[in-house]
Amino acid sequence: MVEEASNKQVILKDYVKGFPKESDLILKTSIVKLKIPNQCSNDAVLVKNLYLSCDPYMRGRMAKTEGSYIDSFTPGSTITGYGVAKIVDSSNPDLKKGDLIWGLTGWEEYSLIKLTQGLFKIQNADLPLSYYTGILGMPGHTAYIGFYEICSPKKGEYVFVSAASGAVGQLVGQFAKLFGCYVVGSAGSKDKVDLLKNKFGFDDAFNYKEEPNLDAALKRYFPNGIDIYFENVGGKMFDAVLLNMRVNGRIAVCGMISQYNLENPEEGTRNLLCLITKRIRMEGFLVFDHYGLYPKFLEMVVPLVKQGKITYVEDVAQGLENAPNALVGLFSGRNVGKQVVVVASE
C-alpha cells in the first residue's frame, strides 16, 4: 500500500480584475499519494512544502494574459510560486529523499513537480530555510542581478530605490551601501521609512504618500541627481525619476507594482525624452535569464549574511489557510519586509 496524506491547496477561483481579494482564492483539501506515479519521467520529485513566497509578479498570473513571460494561473487549479520544500520521493538521481530544494512549487502541502529544471538544491541548510524564499532565493538574486550586472555601479554614486522595504528593495539598498554608494529609498508608511533608515542603513528615505510633488521630493533628496534607479513601482514615480537622472545614469526595471491592479494602465510616461538628453541606459530584466550566475551570487551573499553585514526582515504568515490573505496584502502594501507563508516545519 502506498502511503497517502491529506493535501490542503490554494485554488484560484476565477481570473481577477482590479485589486485581488482574499475571496478570489479558495482552500480545498484532497488526498495525495506519497509516491511518484509510474507514468512520470525520470526527472520528477514529490515534495513536502515548508515555506511559500508571496511575490508581486503573481498578480499578473491571476489575470488572463497572453504573450507574457509566464503562464496565467488556471481557474479551478492550485496556484504556484516560489517556495522551499523537502523531497519525499524522487525519480531524479541527483535529488534524493530528504534533500531540501527551492524553486517553483504548488501552493499546497505536497506537490508533484514533473520537471526539476529550475529547482535549486539547498547547500547552506545552517541558515534559516525561509531565507531561500527571499535573500538567498529569487528576490535576493534579483537584487544582485539588477544592481551589479544591469546597473554596473561605481563607488560614490547616487542610488534611488523605490518600494525599498520590500523583499528586493531592502537588499538593493544594502548592496549599494556596502559598495560605497549614497542610497535613498521610498516606501509607503512611516514605519517602513524608519526601517529603511534605522535597520537597513539607507542614508535617507521618504514616504511617497506624503509627497504631493514627487519631482520636488527627489530634488530635495538628490540635489545632484540620481546615477542609478532601481525601478519597482512605475507610474508617476518613474516619470519623476527621469527628470532627476544624471547624465549616463542607469535604470534597472525590475517591477511596476503601481500598475499591476489597474484595469486600464495609467497614461503614458511623459519624460522619456530624458533617456536621450541624459544618455540614460534603461534595461528590463527577468531573474531566470541569469540563473547561471546564482552560484556567484551565493558566494557573495552567504558570508555577508553569516557575518551580520546584511539585515533581512520577513513578514511571516503561519499556515496555508492564511496564505490568500498574505498574498493579497502585498498589493495594499500591508507587509513589512519579505512576505513568507509557513506551510510546515520539517
Q: What is the pLDDT of residues 241-292, one digit of tens each?
A: 999 999 999 999 998 877 766 666 666 688 999 999 999 999 999 999 999 9
Q: Does residue 118 belong to any structural domain of this protein?
A: yes
Q: Is 77 in the same domain as 17?
A: yes
The residue segments making up the domain with residue 225 are 138-288
CB 266 within 8 A of CB 297: no
State the residue for C-alpha cell 517556495: 83
Q: Does residue 303 belong to any structural domain of this protein?
A: no
Per-residue pLDDT of the chain (346 residues), as tens digits, is 789 999 999 999 999 998 999 999 999 999 999 999 988 878 999 999 999 999 989 999 999 988 888 899 999 999 999 999 999 999 999 999 999 999 999 999 999 999 998 899 998 889 999 999 999 999 999 999 999 999 999 999 999 999 999 899 999 999 999 999 999 999 999 999 999 999 999 999 999 999 999 999 999 999 999 999 999 888 899 999 999 999 999 999 998 877 766 666 666 688 999 999 999 999 999 999 999 999 999 999 999 999 999 999 999 999 999 999 999 999 888 888 899 999 998 7
CB 171 within 8 A of CB 143: yes
Q: Does residue 304 belong to any structural domain of this protein?
A: no
Residue 267, CA distances (Å) to 73, 92, 257 in order: 27, 49, 15
DSSP string covering 257-299:
GGGTT-SSPPPPPS-THHHHHTT-EEEE--GGGGGGGHHHHHH
Q: Is 211 in the same domain as 144?
A: yes
Q: What pLDDT sits at residue 259?
A: 75
Q: What pLDDT sits at residue 333?
A: 86
Q: Does residue 306 belong to any structural domain of this protein?
A: no
Q: Does residue 160 belong to any structural domain of this protein?
A: yes
Q: Is 122 in the same domain as 146?
A: no
Q: Is 331 in the same domain as 277?
A: no
Q: Is 334 in the same domain as 234?
A: no
Domain count, the chain: 2
| Residue among 346, 340, 345 nearest 83 (CA) | 340
Q: What pLDDT sits at residue 109?
A: 98
Dihedral sign computed on CA atoms, order 90, 96, 97, 103: negative
| Residue among 208, 220, 163 nearest 336 (CA) | 163
Q: What pLDDT sits at residue 191?
A: 94
1-46 pLDDT per residue, tens: 789 999 999 999 999 998 999 999 999 999 999 999 988 878 999 9
Residue 242, CA distances (Å) to 231, 255, 278, 289 in order: 11, 16, 9, 26
Q: What pLDDT sits at residue 69?
A: 87
Q: Does residue 125 belong to any structural domain of this protein?
A: yes
Q: Does residue 205 belong to any structural domain of this protein?
A: yes
Q: What pLDDT sits at residue 8?
A: 98
Q: What pLDDT sits at residue 269?
A: 83
CB 119 within 8 A of CB 100: no
Q: Is 145 in the same domain as 263?
A: yes
Contacts of residue 169, defined as CB under 8 A and 6 or more positions apart, other chains included, come to 143, 161, 162, 163, 185, 230, 232
Q: Is 175 in the same domain as 85?
A: no
Q: Is 254 in the same domain as 319?
A: no
Q: What pLDDT sits at residue 47?
A: 98
CB 334 within 8 A of CB 31: no
Q: Does residue 282 belong to any structural domain of this protein?
A: yes
Q: Is 281 in the same domain as 331?
A: no
Q: What pLDDT sits at residue 268?
A: 66
Q: Is 200 in the same domain as 272?
A: yes
Q: What pLDDT sits at residue 1?
A: 79
CB 24 within 8 A of CB 314: no
Strand-pairing partners, residue 253, are 231, 284
Q: Is 57 in the same domain as 121?
A: yes
- CATH number of the domain where residue 92 is located: 3.90.180.10
DSSP string covering 75-128:
TTSB-EEEEEEEEEEESSTTS-TT-EEEEEEESBSEEEES--TT-EE---TTS-
Q: What pLDDT sits at residue 307?
A: 95
Q: Is 129 in the same domain as 34?
A: yes
- CATH number of the domain where residue 154 is located: 3.40.50.720
